[in-house]
């Protein structure tokens, strides 16, 4: 189950570009930044019942 979740997050993050989410784009360039964003997405998906893509928008706006 966790592998499927991480794959869904990876798929959503693969759609992030410098144009559509520049702060997340720069954060995920490094492994520690990727893990941080991934953890934030997981927590938000659980607490807010959101999709990974929806979480990305909210996280981008909060950075």
Q: Which residue has the higher pLDDT, 1 or 59?
A: 59
Name the nearest CA neighbour of 56 among 8, 21, 7, 31.
21
2 band by pLDDT with thresholds 50, 70 and 90? confident
pLDDT tens, residue by residue, 7-18:
999 999 999 999
Name the nearest CA neighbour of 25 among 37, 33, 17, 15.
17
| 26 and 35 Cβ atoms separated by less than 8 Å | no
What does the alpha-carbon distance between residue 37 and residue 31 come to, in Å, rounded to a whole number? Answer: 10
> What pTM did the predictor assign?
0.92
């Amino acid at each position: 189950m966790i592998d499927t979740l991480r794959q869904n997050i990876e798929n959503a993050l693969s759609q992030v570009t410098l144009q559509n989410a520049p702060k997340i784009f720069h954060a995920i360039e490094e492994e520690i930044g990727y893990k941080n964003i991934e953890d934030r997405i997981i927590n938000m998906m659980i607490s807010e019942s959101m999709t990974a893509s929806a979480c990305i928008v909210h996280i981008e706006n909060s950075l």
